[in-house]
Structure 1
């Protein structure tokens, strides 16, 4: 068993190390003195290693890692503005396949070895060597690819390399190896063709009528070409001095990321070159097609029986608005005669539901007016919805308070008004500042996908709006769904232990009805069935009417019970 484990470990290690660490990306901060500074360069062919050292006045790059480049020089750094401060950040980039070495210091790029065509072996796998002594001046916070080597001030960092077959590196590069990453500046002087580019050539004869070129498939790639280039016949007429067109296909897009800050190349790269010709103003364009996976889009799901559901919603909203207005009038008159602490809470919920149903009733009409109008209507709809959720939660918490906090002072009405009317405006205001969240929303009927129903609200087909929908609406809904049953269970357990069931049965019925109204019915929105859709539509649109009906039933029960009230209901 031990032998098997060891053999498996050796296989895993050998497989993981089969790919080469192609390039060197070293960065650090040079601690130097103020005054005249210089850069000392001494580079020659070989693969004995690279040394990056520094002292009070000089930064040195010394080593044998190149294939052809020989460079020995001392450069003054005063022209780059160094010397006014004691610390200077720098980075050194080594590209073995191009035999290129670049130094970036003080925001300036210095090419120490220009790109060149190489064959045979490359110096790769530059690994950190032995540590050097600490000093007052030198390099600190040295790192390779953002992995810190030391936070101490070192006099030098040494790297040892290994000879590697360049063809082997190109195979890794074309297969998209995650450990092969390079940077190339195609606009740099002395630019040469990359040795790992997969190339092809087309000869345009006299009767040239256009041609399609496809990228060669590398090992492990699908048979379908990733890049297709169509050369029009007009190119033959424009190219007067030559008849050859060269194509280069680059698999690794990191070759062209240097200098790009706001954009990033996501696909393969193709280069088209007509030798010694500058082609412009072609009557027919060169078409380049990049094969990629289908990009998923957020599409609204068609709704069946949309006309029936719309009719139910319109009727329910109208009935709810009328019910809420009647309830508001009743509660306002009641608040003058009685000081029941639940009256302001019922009143706040009735107001928020009245506004919600009123806006929802006219949303189909307002969606056809103007985009800017629909943006504000959608924001107002979202606010009234969150306000309704808040007052539903306040109703649940109010009942819980009456049962568990019998001897605790009840919060003032302005506290509930802040939570129910002011707090929901905060996320809506933030989303309005972000923008592109509210607007016209399309609802597609199953029987006519080309004639959508327009309404105002959150445009959840966009990622920002969908994320806001989940963080606000869905989160609050889940809390309401679970708070109702949990509160109901706690109230039932409390009353059963006190053995005062008959005395407080009105309070229990109120708790039960409100928990069902403000929590459980929202569970239906999470069920994917036509029956649940119809039931949810009926309960949601007639919610204002249900609120008025439940409060009337509770009032009637209290009257039949001889004026029974909930604990602490009278101040």
Structure 2
């Protein structure tokens, strides 16, 4: 009997789930394809009106058209030239049309841009959804090929038109379906409902009021967004009584500005019907309670959706300078422009951001994702500056010492040590002044300083690689002559020029770069180096990181082989010689740079400090090594002990090979 009841229950649940699935509505539409057009001027034809009937997406030789009756409020009829968005007329263009019925929002992604054809709002009663495929157009020479609906390709033929038939559905029903979908997937939906709240404003009302989002932040009882409307808003209205509308959105369909930043899902719209409210004497306060973003700086932003006669007035009041105003006045009304102007950001904690804004529009919090903020930035910058200054002075002193020694000694290692020291001196000098040059010279100067800094780094790593190769030659190629000095100079100084020249020719690689701190407010250290872009990241990976990986791996192998070769020798039994041998060769072989591969939590802070200390003071450590070896050589001579040391760690270990 028990198993019978269980089987009936399972059967009932299966039937319920099947019928429920059949009755579910499509929460969104995503149609993508490739527009096969001619080599002419391209246009976008938009003709959208209210209702719920049919949407047509068509294309020909020079036009992409989107028309139909699908919206609750939006009407849009326009012809938009697409060439200003940088479309390549000689190649086919990929595009996507996205319809969000819960937001009454229509987007077009084309040419790497996202255009808003219908701006977001909250439908009051019903939505136009279930846009099922209708009768498509004929096969044509120009049109849409590889059309796909929600990722499923319809046909590989080129069609002139795709049609979609809509069905009017209750907004409340779609909201319930979205909420149930959230529970089943156990995560926040990307297409949840918008929550709308209306309040009557009176010009004579001296009190403000608060409006809270009905959605709670995680497991806490705090609302995701809490809005305080000051009495200054009512005093700025034109009518004695006006209606203020606050709408809370939780959606990722709002355009993200750049891959270096991201926008929180929480977006709030504050408007007064048919009025533009700007330059408030008392700001609107919004408290955003969100997921922890403690390591990333945040900024309150507003979405510039203001149109009409007063838009230029707002721009002149909100933007900081004439140049910014000029850009905003000519901004594309179809593109979403998230601006920091007019808002003040207060980071109350890792999960709480307070925004104070002097105008009404859409608001959200933008998170700086790239470059990654750095903890203890001020301390690391101070250590690096002191280390580079000390290293440069040490390298200059070491160059003088090596040049004097080169006159009276034919030691093969001296020219190599001299080349490495010169490269490190240039690297330390440039890195010490990179912040000053970035702040004074700006982007134009940083292009050349960044390239020169990259060359100095590659040259230093190359000379370290030459040290590795020369050690291997002395240990295992005893009876073969070493390569000539001009060969080492050609490799160490000329070879690193090639990748730098290539990257300069490619362009947009070197320039101004900012490193942000995690302090409140975040501080920025400006330097001349490679920009933060996908192209620059690839360039750094194929040049610097590749050379560094080869240097560290080969250096470790040669260090092990040298240790195995000389560990039984008499001079190795002296502990200080043994220590200086391993420590000195480790510095020469660039082992301190391998710390960059260990930058992960929870050791990140320790690795950052250790990396800055060891590498910024590297020139000082090399000078200290040579001075200690010279002191040991003089001590050995004064005590009458036999020693063939010539000031190099390698001579302590390889006296027989060096004589050969």
| 1:558 partner SS | coil
Deviates more, 1:516-525 or 1:252-261: 252-261
Residue 180 (1) aligns with residue 252 (2): no
- Give the alignment partner of residue 244 of structure 1, picking from 239, 242, 245: 242
Residue 392 (1) aligns with residue 390 (2): no
Q: Distance in 2 between matches of 1:330 and 1:524?
A: 31
Deviates more, 1:117-126 or 1:532-541: 532-541
Residue 331 (1) aligns with residue 402 (2): no
1:558 match = 644
| 2:28 partner SS | coil
Residue 347 (1) aligns with residue 353 (2): no
2:271 match = 272
1:186 match = none
- Give the alignment partner of residue 142 of structure 1, picking from 120, 143, 147: 147
Kept in 1: contact 2:475–2:562 (CA 8 A): yes
Higher RCO, Cα 8 Å, sep 6+: 1
Kept in 1: contact 2:467–2:589 (CA 8 A): no
2:512 match = 436
Q: Distance in 2 between matches of 1:311 and 1:60?
A: 62
Kept in 2: contact 1:513–1:550 (CA 8 A): no
- Give the alignment partner of residue 35 of structure 2, picking from 29, 34, 52: 29
Residue 216 (1) aligns with residue 302 (2): no
Change (3 A) 1:422 1:214: farther
Kept in 2: contact 1:25–1:93 (CA 8 A): yes
Kept in 2: contact 1:123–1:163 (CA 8 A): yes
Larger Rg, first or second structure (1 or 2): 1
TM-score scaled by length of structure 1: 0.59
Q: Distance in 2 between matches of 1:26 and 1:299?
A: 43
- Give the alignment partner of residue 544 of structure 1, picking from 623, 629, 642: 623
Change (3 A) 1:67 1:550: closer
Shift of 1:398: 1.0
Deviations 1:526-550 (A, max 9, x none): 8849998999598862421313544
| 1:218 partner SS | coil
Residue 416 (1) aligns with residue 488 (2): yes
Residue 124 (1) aligns with residue 129 (2): yes
1:192 match = none
Residue 515 (1) aligns with residue 585 (2): yes
1:204 match = 202
Q: Distance in 1 between matches of 2:394 and 2:437?
A: 25
Shift of 1:225: 3.9
Shift of 1:22: 1.8
Deviations 1:117-171 (A, max 9, x none): 9666544343557999866676423234676543323476465766643213245
Change (3 A) 1:363 1:202: same
- Give the alignment partner of residue 490 of structure 1, picking from 543, 561, 584: 561
Q: Distance in 2 between matches of 1:197 and 1:469?
A: 47
Shift of 1:25: 3.5
Shift of 1:392: 2.6
| 2:247 partner SS | strand
Kept in 2: contact 1:480–1:518 (CA 8 A): no
Q: Distance in 2 between matches of 1:485 and 1:553?
A: 26
Q: How many equivalent pairs are there?
A: 509
Q: Distance in 2 between matches of 1:483 and 1:68?
A: 67
Deviations 1:407-433 (A, max 9, x none): 877444333223333455678886997
Change (3 A) 1:225 1:553: same
TM-score scaled by length of structure 2: 0.53
Q: Distance in 2 between matches of 1:553 and 1:22?
A: 78
Structure 1 unaligned residues grouped into runs of 5+: 182-194, 445-451
Structure 2 unaligned residues grouped into runs of 5+: 1-6, 84-88, 298-372, 637-641
Q: Distance in 1 between matches of 2:48 and 2:440?
A: 66
The CA RMSD measured in Å over matched residues stands at: 7.1
